[in-house]
Amino acid sequence: MDTLLRKIESQLAGLPVPVAIELPAGQRVGPPAAAVTLSFKDWSGLATMAAGQIGRIAEDFVESRVQLEGRMRDLMAVAARLMPDTPVAGSASWLTLLLRRAKSLAAHSPHRDAQQIQFHYDVSDDFYALWLDPRRVYSCAYYRDADMSLAQAQEAKLDHICRKLMLRSGERFLDIGAGWGGLLMWAAENYGVRATGITLSKNQHAYVQQLIRDKGLEGRVKMELRDYRELDEAQGYDKIASVGMFEHVGQANMPAYFAKIHALLKPGGMVMNHGITAGSVADQQLGAGMGDFIEKYIFPGGELLHVSHVLRDLSAAGLEMVDTENLRPHYGRTLWAWSDALEGRLDEARHVLATSGNAVDAERVLRAYRLYLAGCAMSFEQGWIGLHQILATRPDGQLQTGAIRGAQSAYPFNRGYIYSPSR
């Protein structure tokens, strides 16, 4: 025990903010006016901390075996320093890869995917509304200007996607994983498209259905409670977006996912795939127990792939990548905005969650989300995970199509149109 305490005291000395530890027997180690205080109920938690298993400490907090006091930003600065190594693994054995693929296949049937999506997105609409922007856009914002608010940056992101896709009035537009309808509404109201969105979340489906009625967009916008694998390929779409969805597809299903997009997209059409990517080329989940924590409490079935893996599967499906943009630090800032908003409304969040379940579960959900938002913000800032917007086309095989010979699509092979001041 003395060896464990000495190791912890050594760890505390090298941390970026003052940290105090309250031991199971009631003793306190560290300064009296600490920025962060961790109170442990048993000695096993201290051993976990000494080993740098951040995810396990997070689980202990959710299950009330550890109490944490202090700002989330300070806590994450401490967490980053407690890990002995980077949580991004460098390689994986053939057996590990084989087992991961088998697990992915089992985890991503249509029924399992529906359950997993509803586990996360159907927690409570009112809970999400407390810390998201007014449009409830639950994906990386685009801080085009440094002084933008979260709401402004989310609108900038919606428009950034619409510009990249070169949306035109009357086009058939599909949003795969449409969330609470932010992109659907923006595309329909500002670009005049005929928009279809799909989701597996019952709460989101009901919310967007009402939003369509409230805005008088029946006939121009529709939202379906449907798996992407069930979409009819007969008519085809001019443009497709998938924002914050393909993280739920699974490595084993990625070839089929892009093949489905290819089949849904008209020849010459364009698709935007916006999603979180792995920091490791071996497609490893975050180490130090962080990936296990997210799998258990936040995103069951979620899998991240390195952008090189995504591009390989996209290309194998017959799609041509024409532009890829890394927005990683934008997601760090977005997540901190969400985290700060939730931290400022903790009592309201407890009440909202308690009205949709029992008080014990409500507290567990709130603790998990507090750590999830702040932990992901830290992970994006550190570069342990990424966010890529991948713009691709389905070439039509006609050399005369497009602004330049051989384009074979509407994409002009010039980025200027994305950033021009007028649409």
Residues annotated as catalytic (active site), given as ranges:
376
Q: 156 near 141, Cβ under 8 Å?
A: yes
Q: 378 near 337, Cβ under 8 Å?
A: no
Secondary structure of 79-101 in HEC code, one letter for each residue = HHHHCCCCCCCCCCCHHHHHHHH
36-40 vs 194-199, strand pairing mode: unpaired
Reduced to 3 states, what is the DSSP secondary structure of residue 137? coil
19-22 vs 36-40, strand pairing mode: parallel
Query: What is the Cα–Cα distance from 65 to 44, expressed in whole angstroms?
Result: 10
Q: How many helices (H) and strands (E) does the chain have?
A: 17, 11
Q: Tokens in use for 409?
A: 């699509």
Reduced to 3 states, what is the DSSP secondary structure of residue 314? helix
* DSSP notation for 201-258: -HHHHHHHHHHHHHTT-TTTEEEEE--GGG---SS-EEEEEEES-GGGT-GGGHHHHH
Q: 243 near 161, Cβ under 8 Å?
A: yes
Query: What is the Cα–Cα distance from 405 to 401, expressed in whole angstroms?
Result: 7
DSSP conformation class of 423: -
